[in-house]
Amino acid sequence: MNLEEAKRRAEELREIIEEHDYRYHVLDDPVVSDEQYDEWMRELIRLEERFPELRTPDSPTRRVGGEPLPHFRKVEHPVPMLSLGNVFNEQELREFDDRVRKAAGGRPVRYVCELKIDGLAVSLRYKDGLLDIGATRGDGTVGEDITQNLKTIRSVPLRLKEPVTLEVRGEAYMPKRAFERLNALRESKGEPLFANPRNAAAGSLRQLDPKLAAERTLDVFVHGLGHMEGHRPATHTKALDWLSSLGFKVNPERETVDGIDGVIDYVNRWREKRPELPYEIDGVVVKLDDLDLREEMGNTAKSPRWAVAFKFPAEEAVTVLRDIELSVGRTGVVTPTAILDPVRLAGTTVKRASLHNEDIIRGKGIMLGDHVIIRKAGDIIPEVVAVLTEKRTGDERPFSMPEKCPECHSRLVRLEGEVALRCINPECPAQAREGIIHFVSRGAMNIEGLGEKVVTQLFEKGLVRGVADLYDLKKEDLVSLERMGEKSASNLLAALEASKSLSLERLLFGLGIRFVGAKAAKVLARHYRHMDQLMEATEEELTSLEEIGPKIAASVAEYMARPEVKETIRRLKQAGVNMEYLGAGAETTTAGTKDSPLAGKTVVLTGTLSSMSRNEAAALLESLGANVTGSVSKKTDLLIAGEKAGSKLDKAKKLGITIWDEETFLKNLPEGVAT
């Protein structure tokens, strides 16, 4: 086959695959077998591998996921993605209708009712019919570019059926069955479970490795136009029908109704039918159908006046509380968890629910064997709402918290101002185990393959007692573990080795110092540059740092003074774990940094720069040794002000802080530093 023949066949295959993607993932009407579809895809992959010049941005082969991304770049939305105002009852719906009818001035009012998908809001931009940019909502004005991850979703068309330029808004979500499969897989690997499908969808789309996003079964419903060139449909109903004809997946359960009574009927029907859906919803979105009237009504600062979200109440279920299990966290807090008879709630089977602390148990009068109401709302895990005392039989038993730690049997204490019971024994094995689970987590040292179950096995076999022990593990130690073969052991050792080269802030966060989150860890790492300098810092010095308050300073100073911590740091150093800050600006030997007038300066950015984004400017400043902060104070050395600078500029003038405009900033960059 020559190039011309290959080109014709590749174009034919793309059209065939696109059509069957649309039939399967949008229309839910497949007409060919999976085997036939896979054969077409394999043929197209072979052609593109043999003739790389035939690869196109909209090829279906691009859905498998590209190379890992270093970070997500920021994307400004052409039209702000506003959030919706919420209503919770019929009266509030009627008040919304009154406001709309008043604005309509006697014109007929029709509404479009749509199911409120519990997922992640996304924007999709198409240029001449080809997918150009896909982004998250972000703060409504600026989101993150997740184009490569959105391309992995087969209901997202890479090429539209017309060569139009437009932006659409939608909701990316994970179907219930896919969510259950994902959590079952994570549980088998000892990885933490996602709380709900929305978190799973958001976590999947914000993976820096598109291949991981491609492995998870996500979907997208498009629910509206954001921006478009050319003639716009007159109503939202016509806009949705047109978007459907372009190849987008639009929710088939939408309805256009006359008046608020039709809206209330729709809400009541779907409140009852909600469990039958293959995806999670948390309410109904009600939108004015007439687009011209929408423009007349306009928006508030946060939300449109022509739309509202009716939020369903959190789902509840009744079950029996059989037992209360106690767990000790990495900070020593003892947390009670209810063990329940399994019950379906919000699309998942619930067997456990949070009881938070002893005061909650006492306040609700909970006894073992009680019938209880449990609720799952938002991001929280299920919680016990109330006890059904009328169902008591007399066989129920009271529960009281223990006086001693369930793991190490040290006496539990309640610190001043706290409601939680806490184990303060630094040698408590439960705290050490939970501390290791935190240490290896993705936000910390990111040691893949060391999930909760593996860490627990390592403890039970006496192979680890603290984080430093991880770096002493050998292959023969690992292959003795359950479900740990030669390859898995090799991969785990490789992940441990890779973690040694991470920057200091990851290590600081991983050590689990009380009150030190990821942001504080970076502030400390960026200021002190090396673990040795941080370990010598006094509480007074730490408090003087911007963004480090007295609680964090006291906690860090106390932590670093402990003999067992000093020994852990010594062993980590000996194992080859990096102790330096490797972020932007850490290397004072890079081109121009030594000569930079910005080295060691505290800098604030404000306004809009024409030559780069604020994030790019911040990264550049850090690469020159500057400490970039978000607010102006007496500690600020320099303010860089772009166009439309506001209150920060006024405050800097009052404090007599040096102010540069963009031109001055660029002139002061050392030679050899790229902008």
Q: Are 368 and 324 in contact (CB under 8 A)?
A: yes
Which structure tokens are listed for 635?
């500690």
Decide: 347 and 200 in contact? Cβ < 8 Å: no
Q: How far apart are CA 291 and CA 242, in angstroms?
A: 14
Neighbours of 27 (CB within 10 A): 12
Query: What kind and span of H or E run contains 242?
Result: helix 236-246
Contact 343, 316 (CB under 8 A): no
Cα–Cα distance for residue pair 43/59, rounded to 1 Å:
13
CB 188 within 8 A of CB 253: no
How far is 519 from 499, CA to CA, in rounded Å? Answer: 19
Q: Can you tell me the distance from the alpha carbon of 133 to that of 348, in angstroms, rounded to the nearest whole number?
A: 34
Q: Does residue 594 carry a catalytic annotation?
A: no
Which tokens belong to 492? Answer: 């785990």
The alpha helices in 65-151, defined as continuous H runs, are 90-104, 147-150
**372 C-beta neighbours (distance < 10 Å), count:** 22
Q: How far apart are CA 247 and CA 226, in angstroms?
A: 17
Taking each helix axis as running N to C, give the angle between helix 550-561 and helix 563-575, from 0 to 180 degrees, rounded to the nearest 10. Answer: 80
Sign, CA torsion 268/272/275/277? negative
Active-site hit among 74, 116, 351, 651: 116
- Please state, in angstroms and rounded to a whole number, the distance separating the CA atoms of residues 57 and 227: 22
Element at 628 (helix H, strand E): strand 627-629
Q: Which residues are catalytic?
A: 116
